[in-house]
Structure 1
Amino acid sequence: MGHKFKWLPVLLLTVLAAPASLTAQKADSSDAFPSEKEPQNRPNILFIMSDDHAYQAISAYDDRLIQTPNIDRIGEEGMRFTNACVANSICAPSRATILTGKHSHLNGKIDNRFPFDTTNVTFPQLFQEAGYQTAMYGKLHFGNNPKGVDDFMILPGQGNYINPDFITREGDTSITGYATDIITDNTLHWLKEKRDPDRPFMMMYLHKAPHRPWWPRPDKFAEFSQKTFPEPPTLFDDYSNRGTAAKTAEMNLLEHMRYSHDSKIRPATLEAMGEISPDVPPYDWGWSGPYDTRVNAEQRALYKPVLDSINDWFQANWPKLSEREKMQWKYQRYMQDYLACISSVDDNVGRVLDYLEESGLAENTIVIYTSDQGFYLGEHGWYDKRFIYDESFKTPLLVKWPGVTNPGEVNTKMVQNLDFAPTLLDACDIEIPEDMQGESLVPLLQGNDEDFTREAVYYHYYEYPAVHMVKRHYGIVTESYKLVHFYYDVDEWELYDRKKDPLELRNEINNPQYAGVIDRLRRELAELRQFYGDSDALNQRYIDLYQEDSGG
């Protein structure tokens, strides 16, 4: 395995307290940023990220569920990566990795519970110090004062789809309307009215959608509630030939998806029906929080016909359905709302791309579309993410760089969200800090695949025991294989042949035909862990801190 950056970790066990930052030292250096190019000649950056947008819900990757013509435009005019992936498939840690260019164990944001260590230097700070005008509009997820941005308008925490609140430099505000539209309206306002035309810009345009609980815009809600979607072949997976982790995770559509929170069944309907099978705990925040307490009378009237239809059908038919039919109904309800949210994202991405074209900015703007991780759309009977299995591990990545990327290029290299920060810095002639662990994708974008040295990526998930109960695990993934170690309350290994078994249904760890592959991957995994500074000792440190925080 080759690695471009010769990075050596130090004092990793103290990372949560105050990780040392070589980046901070470089940021203070007078010669940290080259001056060969005038700032206005460097490319602009439009970094578009959605939340939980599965690659299989983008028609550039798979057109069976939805058409996304505007997101597809980025790939049609640039490069589509088919093996883009994340280092830790959960929202806040993924965003921390993107911002810092470091794995979770080094930046300290291992899960959604622990706070982000604000001593980390983020790539927007480096853009700002290099003379770029910087802005962040939409969902950050953690922290109310993002570093390195001249202007921001961010949702507090997860935010809301309907009549959302925002945090700005001028104070908190609430805006009537739909979050996806509002984030875009204000992004366009910044580009048109607030941007300094004499400086290059780095804009982070970050959607809340399609994060759970899924509340589409009323017109999309009505449109998609009439659609039927193809079922994935593994919807009724029984997890045979898999280990304990897959069998014990709590994210099955039938058994764990909430009636009110997810499927839009009114609490009053459930109460009138009495006992309902299966007995999913009646957590209804997704109804009462994002909807009941936020809609105004006009919006309520728009949602009511579809909600009436869903609830009337459920009350009349649910008790008569078989378990299989109930699973199928929940899948369709899930897809109707999830994909309706994505349809709004695609419409709005189109608005921004159109403005770039009309204004002439498109000629010198790098456009990136990605998600903070993948998501299960019924595969293996699941929703949510967290696992190293492909649907949550892989993420969409489409990049258009005028004059550099050729239209319609497809790249299969193992690239990771760890690489986003060094890539953007490299593309804009800003020095990449030595402590960033990613590898610049610029050679790939230029068509020089031989200059990209990585053959395998490292993954580590920590949030257990917690919601969805996906066990802690780490692993190595190449284009051909995936080796995973589940630990903490189990000690189990899994191997998947990504070429022969793309649905990941056969754990080959005990197959003697793969003995040589397993030995090689174990060695390479150990090398990767050492290279990135992860270890069993550090695992135990995080386990101890987790138990202390939980009172265990």
Structure 2
Amino acid sequence: MSKQQIGFILLTMAMAMACNPVQKKQQASSQPNIIYIMSDDHGYQAVSAYGYGINSTPNIDRIAQEGALFTRATVTNSLCAPSRAVLLTGKHSFVNGKVDNMSPFDWSQDNFPKLLQRAGYQTAMVGKIHMDGLPQGFDYSAVVPGQGDYYNPDFFVNGQKERFHGYVTDITTDLALQWLGERDKDKPFCLLFHQKAPHREWLPAERHYKEYTQLTFPEPETLFDDYKGRGTAAKSAEMNILKDMNWAGDSKIPPSIMDELGIPSTLNWDKNAYENNLGRMDSAQRKAWDAVYDPIVEDFRKRYPSMTKEELMRWRYQRYMQDYLATIAAVDDGVGRLLDYLRAHGLEENTIVVYTSDQGFYLGEHGWFDKRFMYEESLRTPLAIRYPKEIKAGTKIDALVQNLDFAPTFLDYAGVPIPADIQGQSFRQLVSGETTDWRDAIYYTYYEYPSIHMVKRHYGIRTDRYKLIHFYYDIDEWELYDLEQDPKEMLNVYDDPAYKQVRETMHQKLDETRKAYNDSDENDNRFLDAYNKALK
């Protein structure tokens, strides 16, 4: 047989294999499916796998128990939209351009779902993205506008607005499962499953508020923090549960009762939030809500005139925790439904499942709610990942991973080349146990000031033991924390002579890290000018 004949036969066989649907299906099955579950403002303290004991999340815990739990996962910018832009691009805020909630996001830039699409993946985004414009990189999208609504929410389904009846967490789960059922079964898939909850103003589902409003939760040790050990930034932030949380929208005190008791609105949208959120309910939903919340309001109305500030703080903390943790219970229900679906359809073994949040959240620590700071409760985020093919059940990872690392990790699992301009690192080999080599410091930036909660602009680094933060713009203050000796970050030791060498080492590390990521004071000034123009 001649070389030409052999070549023709080989070419014919290759063409047949390429056209063979069974062969194509086998090739697709070698690439893992990816499901990325992200909630909004879910503090790691409120995932029971972390052992804080304030609530139970059995389904999220399943991911950790059957895979890996990350104990020091962090974000690069603790704010909703910037965090999501970092997830998609694998680049810091000052590179992808989404530095705050106000600035536009350029959807035309590359993101990891686009790269997966080009590699043959079917992609979908369901839930909250909090960035304007039709999401790019997805064959299917069903996203809530802005922050979304808890009851009878609107979704933009492939760009077309549609209202759904029911509870947003359940509807988001329904849409995710529906897409999984209708997808092309011959292709690997990537699903971004983003819950609105537990974002403010925390309206739980009926099945959960009936239970959680009857519970009492332990107070954090620092609930009545006076911030004496820190600088201007901590003292001037406006996220104190007693002083800065909305009475109507957040604590669910009706505007009429506020007026009767002489309680002023905290923010100008306080009462409107209450009316708009509850106003979306139908008569049956509102009747069920009032049956539970009216007695709470009536008890408060009677007690309020004689309550001390300390009693008010404790009351507001319990109201906050009851509603916040109840919204998480529905998120956990949705995770359970998803895991059960994967098992029922034989998808468990070849599907990577991630659970995380877009940032951490304060659950009364330092008297606060919200996030934004580089302090631990805001910086750290829950992270669990399950992939039986590579990750041993019960794995614990202490390495300093960031949301910056999701894009390259998913591309790595999919066998897709990681672009050179992605700034994150794949943690695939780290979580499989093939390596322990990892970064020794993470870098953080925050830009949205002056704005709600008034958290100063800052940047900094965190290592295994220490944290160095620079607050700038209208102040110039440095903070240094020894996380081994002071895990609650109560005492800034920047000017302590005993930490002189540590301070110098951390400054050097900060300079090196900023240079490695191509950040500078010039970037800070550029984004400040853009932010000031947007405010005007």
Same fold (TM over 0.5): yes
Provide the residue aligned with 2:342 in structure 1.
356
Provide the residue aligned with 1:291 in structure 2.
278
Partner Cα distance (1:108, 1:170) in 2: 23
- The one of 62, 65, 78 aligned to 2:54: 65
Which letter does structure 2 place at the counterpart of 1:295? Answer: M
Aligned-residue RMSD, C-alpha: 1.3
Partner Cα distance (1:542, 1:137) in 2: 30
CA offsets per residue over residues 386-417 of structure 1, 9 Å max, x none?
00000010001101111211111111101000
Partner Cα distance (1:153, 1:84) in 2: 28
Partner Cα distance (2:105, 2:237) in 1: 26
Provide the residue aligned with 1:476 in structure 2.
461
Provide the residue aligned with 2:525 in structure 1.
540
Provide the residue aligned with 1:417 in structure 2.
403
Q: Is the 8 A contact 2:342 2:348 kept in 1?
A: yes
Provide the residue aligned with 1:27 in structure 2.
none
Deviation at 1:119, TM superposition (A): 3.0
Which residues of 2 match residues 76-475 of structure 1 at below 5 A? 76-169=65-158, 171-192=160-181, 194-273=182-261, 275-276=262-263, 280-281=266-267, 283-292=270-279, 294-450=280-436, 452-475=437-460
Query: Does 1:521 find its partner at 2:506?
Result: yes
Partner Cα distance (1:203, 1:317) in 2: 48
Q: Is the 8 A contact 2:32 2:351 kept in 1?
A: yes
Q: Is the 8 A contact 1:213 1:261 kept in 2?
A: yes
Provide the residue aligned with 1:5 in structure 2.
none
Deviation at 1:281, TM superposition (A): 4.3
Partner Cα distance (2:159, 2:93) in 1: 32
CA offsets per residue over residues 105-153 of structure 1, 9 Å max, x none?
0000000011112232111101111100111111111124111111111
Provide the residue aligned with 2:21 in structure 1.
none
For normalisation by structure 2, the TM-score amounts to 0.94
Which letter does structure 1 place at the counterpart of 2:48? Answer: S
State the secondary structure of the residue aligned to 1:449.
coil
Deviation at 1:512, TM superposition (A): 1.1
State the secondary structure of the residue aligned to 2:464.
coil
Deviation at 1:503, TM superposition (A): 0.6
Partner Cα distance (2:187, 2:314) in 1: 53
Which letter does structure 1 place at the counterpart of 2:112? Answer: F
Q: Is the 8 A contact 1:405 1:446 kept in 2?
A: yes
Partner Cα distance (1:178, 1:341) in 2: 10
State the secondary structure of the residue aligned to 2:48.
coil
Partner Cα distance (1:233, 1:510) in 2: 26
Q: Is the 8 A contact 1:90 1:385 kept in 2?
A: yes
State the secondary structure of the residue aligned to 2:391.
coil
Identity of aligned residues (%): 52
Provide the residue aligned with 1:8 in structure 2.
none
Q: Is the 8 A contact 1:425 1:431 kept in 2?
A: yes
Q: Is the 8 A contact 1:144 1:167 kept in 2?
A: no
Partner Cα distance (1:549, 1:149) in 2: 29
Deviation at 1:468, TM superposition (A): 0.2
CA offsets per residue over residues 321-365 of structure 1, 9 Å max, x none?
111110000000000000000001001110110111111101100
Q: Is the 8 A contact 1:80 1:410 kept in 2?
A: yes
For normalisation by structure 1, the TM-score amounts to 0.91
State the secondary structure of the residue aligned to 1:315.
helix
Partner Cα distance (2:82, 2:367) in 1: 25
Provide the residue aligned with 1:7 in structure 2.
none
Deviation at 1:62, TM superposition (A): 2.6
State the secondary structure of the residue aligned to 1:352.
helix
Partner Cα distance (1:281, 1:396) in 2: 30
Deviation at 1:279, TM superposition (A): 6.8
State the secondary structure of the residue aligned to 1:284.
helix
Q: Is the 8 A contact 1:83 1:479 kept in 2?
A: no
Q: Is the 8 A contact 2:246 2:265 kept in 1?
A: no
After alignment, is 299-308 or 391-400 more displaced?
299-308
Partner Cα distance (1:285, 1:476) in 2: 39
- The one of 491, 495, 498 aligned to 1:510: 495
Partner Cα distance (1:233, 1:63) in 2: 13
Which letter does structure 1 place at the counterpart of 2:505? Answer: R
Which residues of 2 match residues 483-498 of structure 1 at below 5 A? 483-498=468-483
Which letter does structure 1 place at the counterpart of 2:369? Answer: Y
CA offsets per residue over residues 355-383 of structure 1, 9 Å max, x none?
11111101100000000000000000000
- Tell which structure's C-alpha radius of gyration is larger: 2
Q: Is the 8 A contact 2:209 2:326 kept in 1?
A: yes
